[in-house]
A and B are shown apart, each in its own frame.
Chain A
Amino acid sequence: MDRSKSISRRRVLVAGTAGIVGAALPVAGPSTSLRAGQNPDQAARPKVPADPSKVQGPLASDVGGRSPFEKPKRVSLGERRTSSLTPLQDLDGIITPSDLHFERHHAGVPAIDPQQYSLLIHGMVDRPMVFTLADLRRFPGRSVIRMMECSGNGGRVYRREGSQTDLTPQQIDGLTSTAEWTGVPLATLLREAGASPKATWFLAEGMDAAVMTRSIPIAKAWDDALIAYGQNGEPLRPEQGYPVRLFLPGVEGNASVKWLRRIEVGDQPFMTREETSKYTDPLPDGTARIFSLDMDCKSLVTEPSFPDKLTGPGWWEIRGIAWSGRGKISKVEISADGGKTWQLAKLDDPVLPKCHTRFRLPWEWKGGEALIASRATDETGYVQPTYDVLLAARGPSTAYHFNHIRAWKVAADGTVNFGGGL
């Protein structure tokens, strides 16, 4: 990640509170939000009036943009750019702005004309049906705020436990995001097509060059699967499946097939490449878990985090997000002493099922070393495990679902580094 170009407001808040005084932000002045060693391109700093109360500002615009001082970015870790990660450390609240929602695709982002778009539903149905986008929008709709997480999220730190400390929340766990999704319940469409009560699975297929396919237990369709066309109040972004995607709350992201063209109702799983050779979890007992769809309860402190530097002892707010694919978060505990003692964090409203939940805890840093970690519990009673517990259950080279407790190490000089699993 290119940190020098993505200094954002929250960095200012966390690391530079003392240096910034409201409207007195100097033109091209030194930023106190920077960690030692960073090299901001001062020449590129936006020019603003020294006193904005003395000049008329720009007039209303057709499409708004961010402040030129705010440049949050997704980052792509692989050379092939088949995914990009959400800058979790730059976000407040629970909603991920649509242009920062993480991406993962297997054959790029297809270009689709919404007027040419249609969805086919067939298989074990009385009436195989074709729905245009206008048709889908005409059905009784539904909006829900839910998270989505890629099941590979966090794999990098799980597999190389302890080996790298210069990692941001984005680099560790940026394959999770939350949005308001709007669409028609798949149950409504299955009812429209007359799905057989004997059906047990359905296949979802995309129209990207991977022609992505996943098999899903049909119970999920009758429960909360959504055929989504809206994201945060506007049509889906192209990289999120425009014009229509499947959205499966709480389920590993890959199964929420984007650019959805077909749903086939059946009575057995189709055993596609992704759900057999890829998204399965080898276990230490010589088996591999298949259709391990639910995302386990997890949390992450996003502030303070690498590359923050606490400017001095005193009160700081520890902030982060927690979520569970099985329901609501019931509590988040925070430790600043590496897990010896834990304190309950405050959960911000709303606390929604299968959704990022924002937690906060005021913390008085007395100077000296600290190891900050969060531990979430969901409404099923599941407690986010330590690294050792997860390792024992899954083995060191299992392939997906990495939800162990993460820690941040605060050094005596206030620098913050990733502290590995707890």
Chain B
Amino acid sequence: MNRQGRRKHRGFGPFRAWLAIAVMCPISGFAQSKATDTKPLGIGRVATVDEIAKLDIDVRPDGRGLPDGKGTVAEGAKVYAAKCASCHGKNGEGATFDRLVATDSGKNFDFATNPKLPKAVGNYWPYATTLYDYTYRAMPFQQPGTLTPDETYSLVAYILALNKIVPDDATMDRKALPAVKMPARDRFVTDNRTGGKVVK
């Protein structure tokens, strides 16, 4: 930080801020207050549309955030061989990094009881959109964030096909991907631990 900047504002900044807090929240606990109709303190600046677009790369399960572009399984096989196979194995079986392909989840999603059951995209990942989000943001490991949307769609299509979730002639794009239903999707449940006497 800019300690200089901090000193510069020391004369009035904190005082004004505290005054504002005191006026807005007469009782303790401004951090607990949910009210959002209070006046801003005027610190920071409004973000530009471009600034947001540059960083806003996340993709949600409903497809929000997916860019234009598309990719096929066949194209994905080529990108995979060139950029992914060295870490994840020739056919997604895993090597120095995670296994990507597995279809067996036992009789009843047996991951808690069978230590030998490997987790991978096909048998454990609940959302196909996650595969796009993660691959685009963080892969390949040695050149993170360098894949184009088309390359990413292709890779996603290829990995889904390896896991027998989409056919070998599938094309992925912003409409097709959120429609893919993952086999493990309905297995995930919200946290029911609340403390108290019962160990869950």
Contact = CB atoms under 8 A, between A and B. Distances in A.
Interface centre among A224, A266, A286 (most CB of B within 10 A): A286
B129 A187 contact: no
A261 B55 contact: yes
A203 B21 CA distance: 26
Interface string B153-181: 00000000000000000000000000000
Interface in B6-63: 6, 9, 13-14, 17-18, 21, 30-36, 38, 40-41, 43-47, 51-52, 55-62
B5 A294 contact: no
A121 to B, nearest CB: 8
24 contacts: A120-B47, A129-B45, A134-B2, A185-B31, A187-B33, A205-B55, A209-B145, A213-B137, A222-B31, A224-B31, A262-B56, A264-B56, A270-B59, A271-B129, A272-B134, A282-B109, A288-B112, A290-B188, A292-B193, A382-B199, A393-B200, A394-B112, A396-B112, A399-B111
A271 B43 contact: no
B133 A210 contact: no
Interface of B: 1-2, 5-6, 9, 13-14, 17-18, 21, 30-36, 38, 40-41, 43-47, 51-52, 55-62, 108-115, 117, 119, 121, 124-127, 129-130, 133-134, 137-138, 141, 144-145, 184, 187-197, 199-200
Contacts of A292: 191, 193
Contacts of B58: 203, 205, 213, 264, 270, 272
A382 B47 CA distance: 45
A290 B190 contact: yes
B144 A211 contact: yes
Contacts of A389: 199
Interface string A238-251: 00000100000000
Nearest to B195: A380
A147 to B, nearest CB: 16
Given A130-B47, A193-B40, 7 more contacts: A107-B144, A140-B21, A276-B188, A294-B195, A380-B194, A396-B113, A396-B115
B106 to A, nearest CB: 9
Nearest to A327: B195
Contacts of A127: 40, 46
A283 interface: yes
B43 A192 contact: yes
Contact of A271 (B46, B114, B126, B200): B126
A382 B195 CA distance: 5
Nearest to B115: A397
Contacts of B2: 114-115, 132-134
Given A235-B1, A286-B108, A210 B52 contact: no
Given A139-B41, A187-B30, A394-B112, A107 B138 contact: yes
A377 to B, nearest CB: 10
Contact of B195 (A195, A270, A326): A326
Contacts of A291: 190-191
Contacts of B57: 211
Contacts of B21: 140
A185 B128 CA distance: 34
Nearest to A218: B34
A397 B44 contact: no
Contacts of A137: 1, 6
A211 B193 contact: no
Q: List 8 tightest A-B contacts by C-beta distance, closest first.
A: A395-B112, A380-B195, A282-B111, A134-B5, A397-B115, A273-B134, A286-B108, A282-B112
A196 B46 contact: no
A5 B199 CA distance: 40
A191 B41 CA distance: 9
Interface string A285-302: 111111111101100000
Interface in A385-422: 385, 389-390, 393-399
A287 B1 contact: no
B56 A289 contact: no
